[in-house]
Amino acid sequence: MNLTHTLVSPIFLETHSEICSLTEDFNQLKIFYQPENDYEIEMKEVLETNDLYSENIYNLENKEEISYFNNPVLTPSQIKKFQKIFSQNTIKENNEVNEKLTIILDQQEKEAFIHKLRTTVCCKTKTCLAKINHESAFNIFDNVRKLSKDEYNMFLLGMLHAMTRPKETLQGKEKQYLTVKYTFDGNEICEKGFQIIYSLSNKKWENIRQHYRISSIKPIKHALSGRKSHNALSFATILNVLTFIINFANCHGLPSPGRHFRESTMAITFLPANESYSGLYRTYQSNLEEDSDHHIKNEDVGKGSNAVISMVHHYFKNHGLGEKYITIHADNCPGQNKNNAIIKYLIWRVLNNLHKRIIYSFMVVGHTKFSPDSFFGLLKLKLRHSEVDNLADLVQVVQNSTVEGYSTAQTIYNQNGTRQVQFYKWAEFFDEFFKNVLQILKQHYFIISSDKPGIVEIKLAINEKKTEITLLKKNKINSFPSSALPAPLLAKNLTPE
């Protein structure tokens, strides 16, 4: 403890000697009561965690979820418990204190239920609940609450089917309403008494009766049965929240020295006096927003044709030499290079007098390595021996990957935060003016010339016969925009999941 404050003078220390031992006292508390994540907590289930991977305890749906176990804050045994809670599985704890407490609570609940049966005025006769066996009624009440939701619904439907009166009156006319004779242990009781014994609310019982009138004893099935809600959080998101809270508690919290009845997950840790639940949430939310802003500035708009065309357009606009005749070589990737959107973009450039002729040539499958790949290879070599902590470091690696500086890095934003590269919805824009090239994946050679506006010449190979296809729609020849650009393509905001 640093005793440099002006109040901590020799005279003050003589009268308040406990100041000197304050740090030592806290250290002793930490030694006695703070659990070690890798020992005390994990040793409670060492037999189960030893075979964690081999037995596939978590029944993971996706192999990527194995990364949960690489959590730097939570131990595998803790993640296992949280996974069980998330999967709505019961966690059984062998705790003698919990068992004793459960017995006491059950006895108090029984006394309260019997007292309710004796004092409740259920109907005009006031004798419905008095003439039944209260012990038997509590046993039914207690067992019914242990049923699952589906079991409970089927039980009530069966009871309703057995107690329903005939659908016709004594005169042979069909009844307009469902009538029920309520009984318990052979004694006729009123509807309110029946609801008390079987733990039924008015709304629940009315829903059961409504379902029975329409579907008889057909099982009740929720419309979203077997599917997760659209608002449900994934286990990965929940685990991120738990990791944040536990990491915060490890750094700033004080472990509780007392015993607690519930130990379903881990020991209790007290937050600092200047923190609250809402303050902790704001801290997490601010960190989440900062992380989201970081990713959004990377402009994750995907790797499809819109992104490729936008980057090609940026290159021609900012680095082009005004060339009128160009030849472009590309591999056969259909999602990025070999698709109708790219062909339409090249026609668009010719129609706007940006080029006179464009030859778009694809390499033969199996022989798609050419000069750009050598520069990527040099970049990988440089990257393996470089320390990259941020985007500026990565830009420096790209520029230093070649001796003569042939490689240049292009970021979406510059160092001042000004946007440099714009992304547009090219594919949607072109669909209004152009038709598609059929079986485009089979073609390897495309020629677009200003002498034949809106027409592309295609070949299966460079030495094959060429075929002319008119892609510009007839009704769009006179209305084709000369300089208009598509709508901007915005990056998707990151959700909390």
225 falls within a domain: no
Spell out the alpha helix ranges (H) of 320-419.
340-351, 371-384, 391-399
314 falls within a domain: yes
Instruction: Please give the single-letter amino acid code of residue 207.
Output: N
Strands 325-330 and 357-362: parallel
390 falls within a domain: no
Task: Report the domain count for the chain.
Answer: 3
Query: At residue 38, what are phi and psi to the nearest 5 degrees?
Result: -90, 0
Residue 143 CB neighbour total at 10 angstroms: 10
Residue 34 CB neighbour total at 10 angstroms: 17
Instruction: Retrieve residue 383's tokens.
Output: 């990257």
3-state SS assignment for residue 87:
coil
243 falls within a domain: yes
15 falls within a domain: no
Instruction: Please tell me whether residues 64 and 119 are part of one structural domain.
Output: no
Instruction: Please tell me whether residues 178 and 82 are part of one structural domain.
Output: no
Q: pTM score, two decimals?
A: 0.42
Gap between the Cα atoms of 62 and 69, Å rounded: 13
Gap between the Cα atoms of 101 and 99, Å rounded: 5
Cβ atoms of 441 and 428 within 8 Å: the answer is no
Per-residue pLDDT of the chain (497 residues; tens, 9 = 90+): 444 444 444 554 555 555 556 656 656 555 544 544 443 434 344 334 444 433 444 444 444 444 555 555 667 777 777 777 777 655 555 556 677 778 888 888 889 888 888 888 888 777 788 888 999 989 999 998 889 888 999 999 998 888 888 878 777 788 777 888 888 888 888 888 888 899 898 898 998 888 888 888 888 887 666 666 666 777 788 888 888 887 777 777 777 665 554 444 456 777 777 778 788 888 777 777 555 444 444 456 667 788 899 999 999 998 888 899 999 998 877 777 888 999 999 999 999 899 999 999 988 876 777 888 888 889 999 988 888 888 888 999 999 998 888 888 888 888 887 888 889 999 888 888 899 998 888 888 999 999 998 899 999 888 888 899 999 887 776 666 666 788 888 776 555 44
Q: Which domain holds residue 49?
A: 34-90+232-275
Instruction: Please tell me whether residues 80 and 108 are part of one structural domain.
Output: no
Give, in order, the Cα–Cα distances in Å from 110 to each of 73, 99, 117, 209, 227.
43, 17, 11, 29, 38
Instruction: Please tell me whether residues 70 and 110 are part of one structural domain.
Output: no
Gap between the Cα atoms of 2 and 20, Å rounded: 10
Instruction: Please tell me whether residues 322 and 361 are part of one structural domain.
Output: yes
Strands 455-459 and 445-449: antiparallel
